[in-house]
Amino acid sequence: MVLTEIVHVAEGMLTVVTIPGDGACLFSALAHQMWGFSLTSAEHLSGTRQLRADVVNFYRQDLPRWLEGLYAQACTIFPSLVYRMSVGQLVEHFMTQLANDSFWGGEESIVALSRHYDRSILVYREGAQHSAHNVNGSEPLRIVHRRSAVDPGEYVHYDSVLSLQLSGFSRRRLGHHSSAVPPSHASGPLPGSSSQVSFNCPPLHRCHLECFWLLTRKPS
């Protein structure tokens, strides 16, 4: 059984699929967006793990290019290790931890997956005055960053978006005649299978604007 919730964001009201809070919520939410498998299925678990592995492999293939951004991110996650490890050691520690199933993925993972799959990723923010996102016209993967129940100022969880009911202001601003904006799943087999998946990819990846610290570190 799929559990859904209503989440209020700046643009209107989201209907979301509730993702388990097991440390892999970002990868699980994106896997659900990409393939739409049941959250309890072996296919979904395999897809979630594949996305995590894709992130680590993406950075390891060209680590010098991304070293500065990854180090900045690692410093915020592991502040107690900053003066105990060199830059290379801390980034390696970050990559090792990121490969673990229960380690939280964040902006660095959104950037890597957007580039690896050449997909737009749109991240709404629960209760935010302005959700930080930028889409270039293609159908994006849609997830929502949820607030902590303990500290509403902290964003600690990701869910998968089923649909958005635009507010009146958002409809006028965006020129929508209908208030319903249902995202479409790009259904298909898991990465590594023999069949090809058509993602209708945009020419440029657009990500959560909080990711731009990393995208702009070492321009291609």
**Quick one: pLDDT at residue 119?**
86
**Quick one: pLDDT at residue 168?**
54
| Contact predicate 44/163, CB 8 Å | no
Q: How far apart, in whole angstroms, are the C-alpha atoms of residue 220 and residue 214?
A: 12
Place of tokens 């559990």: 3
**Quick one: pLDDT at residue 130?**
57
Q: Is 40 exposed, middle or buried (0-12, 13-18, 19+ CB in 10 A)?
A: exposed
* pTM of the model as a whole: 0.76
**Quick one: pLDDT at residue 135?**
52
Per the structure block, which two tokens stand in for 44?
Answer: 């979904």
pLDDT < 70 stretches in the chain: 129-138, 167-220
**Quick one: pLDDT at residue 128?**
74
Q: How far apart, in whole angstroms, are the C-alpha atoms of residue 186 and residue 95?
A: 28
| Contact predicate 141/33, CB 8 Å | yes
Comparing CA positions, the residue from 190, 128, 123 lying closest to residue 160 is 123
Tell me how far apart the terminal alpha carbons of the chain are, to the nearest angstrom: 44
**Quick one: pLDDT at residue 149?**
84
**Relative orientation angle of helices 63-77 and 42-60, to the nearest 10 degrees:** 110
